[in-house]
């Protein structure tokens, strides 16, 4: 099969369009013909070596997959050949540990993240993945939308509904609002009844973010403190919740934007840099920093139903053939994209 392989960390030249053997399913696996694969910033930090934990090269990137089941392992019980399916971000979970049993399978101790570990990623024509990590796509939901349902949308659902427990009338700041996670977090926060502030460093994205449902858009230069704009938009109070898709680069501005008893939801970290801070700056205002880890299968199913009901719009920026994965990475690194890039392996 055709694939895009990363043999060692590097720039976009590390993305090698090549051929590897077709996958064969293990007993608990299905083989998917990949119709769409999303391109996430996670792919970039895996490719360039910033992310090291769990990475095993050479690897095939890509953890946002939608396609058709074409082969079954001997122990598969629910998936059928011909099913249209979307994946979670993992290629394997054990299915029986305390995390898997309680709906937190993203924390399974033996989980394998798709696209970080060997040839188990979606930048390929075919993919073998555990049956536990796929779910059927409802009628009326396209492969384009389903491919990004788990990561780009489901992570935001996990943050806003299940971890952050956003309440009607609260103020929510979405950082990196023009990116793949940000554009969908805006929509999800609006669905929760929040007043939504979108943060971006691109004036060109402001109108699009408003159109997606942002009540206010904060535009600033890179490195500039934007907290005064946030406080102005909230009558001086600050925001109740931050959906943080960026990390270190915005740390100071986010901290100053957070209201008393605010919740800081940590999703993205786009660099390998650390940041010093005094914990008293949080606990004196009873503020919380909370981790949002990936998406469960149940959350993926909920997102697919929201897409089917047209309560959410999957935002696709551009679509590329598999052999042009380097162009997708270049566009994502350049910061001009609004929404997700997609690869079309088949």
In angstroms, rounded to a whole number, what is the distance separating the alpha carbons of residues 70 and 86? 14
Torsion of CA 121, 125, 131, 134, to 10 degrees: 80
In angstroms, rounded to a whole number, what is the distance separating the alpha carbons of residues 298 and 306? 13
Q: Do domains 2-148+314-344 and 153-291 have the same CATH topology?
A: yes
Is pLDDT of 271 > 80? no
Predicted local distance difference test score (pLDDT) of residue 60:
97
* Residue 174: strand pairing partners: 198, 243
SS3 label, residue 16: strand
Q: What is the pTM of this model?
A: 0.93
Predicted local distance difference test score (pLDDT) of residue 306:
98
Is pLDDT of 282 > 90? no
In angstroms, rounded to a whole number, what is the distance separating the alpha carbons of residues 52 and 73? 31
Closest by alpha carbon to 73, among 132, 27, 31?
Answer: 27
The 10s digit of each residue's pLDDT in 220-244 is: 988 889 999 999 999 999 999 999 9
- Judging by beta carbons within 10 Å of its beta carbon (0-12, 13-18, 19+), is residue 60 exposed, middle or buried? buried
Neighbouring residues of 100: CB distance < 8 A, sequence distance ≥ 6: 93, 94, 108, 132
In angstroms, rounded to a whole number, what is the distance separating the alpha carbons of residues 46 and 273? 15
Assigned CATH for 2-148+314-344: 3.90.180.10
In angstroms, rounded to a whole number, what is the distance separating the alpha carbons of residues 166 and 278? 26
Is pLDDT of 261 > 90? yes
The 10s digit of each residue's pLDDT in 31-61 is: 999 999 999 999 999 999 998 988 999 999 9
Closest by alpha carbon to 170, among 260, 68, 99, 94?
Answer: 260
In the chain, where are the structural domains located?
2-148+314-344, 153-291
Predicted local distance difference test score (pLDDT) of residue 222:
87
Is pLDDT of 133 > 90? yes
**Superfamily of chain region 153-291:** Medium-chain alcohol dehydrogenases, catalytic domain (3.90.180.10)
Closest by alpha carbon to 199, among 159, 238, 244?
Answer: 244
Is pLDDT of 168 > 90? yes
Rounded percentage of the chain residues whose pLDDT exceeds 70: 100
Neighbouring residues of 276: CB distance < 8 A, sequence distance ≥ 6: none
Neighbouring residues of 265: CB distance < 8 A, sequence distance ≥ 6: 159, 160, 163, 164, 241, 242, 243, 244, 290, 292
Question: What is the distance between the terminal CA atoms of the chain, rounded to a whole angstrom?
Answer: 10
Is pLDDT of 27 > 80? yes
Predicted local distance difference test score (pLDDT) of residue 98:
97
Q: Are 39 and 51 spatial neighbours (Cβ–Cβ below 8 Å)?
A: no
Closest by alpha carbon to 93, among 46, 137, 133?
Answer: 133
């Amino acid at each position: 099969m055709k694939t895009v392989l990363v043999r060692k960390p590097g720039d976009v030249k590390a993305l090698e369009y090549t051929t590897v053997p077709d996958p064969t399913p293990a007993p608990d696996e299905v083989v998917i013909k990949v119709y769409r694969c999303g391109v996430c910033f996670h792919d970039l930090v895996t490719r360039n070596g910033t992310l090291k934990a769990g990475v095993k090269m050479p690897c095939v990137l890509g953890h946002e997959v939608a396609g058709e089941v074409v082969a079954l392992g001997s122990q598969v019980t629910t998936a059928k050949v011909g099913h249209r399916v979307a994946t979670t971000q993992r290629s394997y979970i054990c299915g029986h540990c305390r995390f898997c049993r309680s709906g937190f399978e993203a924390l399974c101790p033996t989980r394998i993240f798709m696209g970080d570990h060997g040839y188990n990623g979606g930048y390929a024509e075919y993919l073998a993945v555990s049956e536990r990590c796929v779910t059927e796509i409802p009628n009326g939901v396209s492969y384009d939308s389903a491919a990004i349902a788990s990561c780009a949308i489901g992570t935001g659902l996990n943050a806003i509904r299940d971890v952050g427990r956003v309440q009607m009338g609260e103020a929510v700041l979405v950082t990196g609002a023009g990116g793949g996670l940000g554009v969908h977090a805006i929509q999800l926060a609006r669905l929760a009844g929040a007043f939504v502030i979108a943060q971006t460093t691109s004036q060109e994205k402001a109108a699009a973010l408003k159109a997606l449902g942002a009540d206010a858009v904060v535009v600033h230069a890179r490195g500039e403190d934007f907290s005064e704009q946030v406080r102005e938009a909230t009558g001086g109070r600050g925001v109740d919740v931050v959906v943080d898709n960026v990390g270190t680069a915005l740390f100071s501005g986010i901290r100053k934007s957070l209201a008393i008893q605010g919740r800081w939801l940590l999703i993205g970290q786009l660099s390998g840099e650390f940041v010093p801070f005094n914990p008293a700056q949080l606990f004196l205002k009873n503020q919380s920093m909370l981790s949002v880890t990936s998406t469960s299968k149940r959350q993926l199913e909920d997102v697919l139903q929201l897409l089917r009901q047209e309560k959410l719009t999957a935002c696709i920026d551009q679509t590329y053939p598999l052999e042009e994965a380097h162009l997708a990475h270049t566009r994502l690194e350049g910061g001009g994209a609004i929404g997700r890039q997609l690869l079309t392996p088949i």
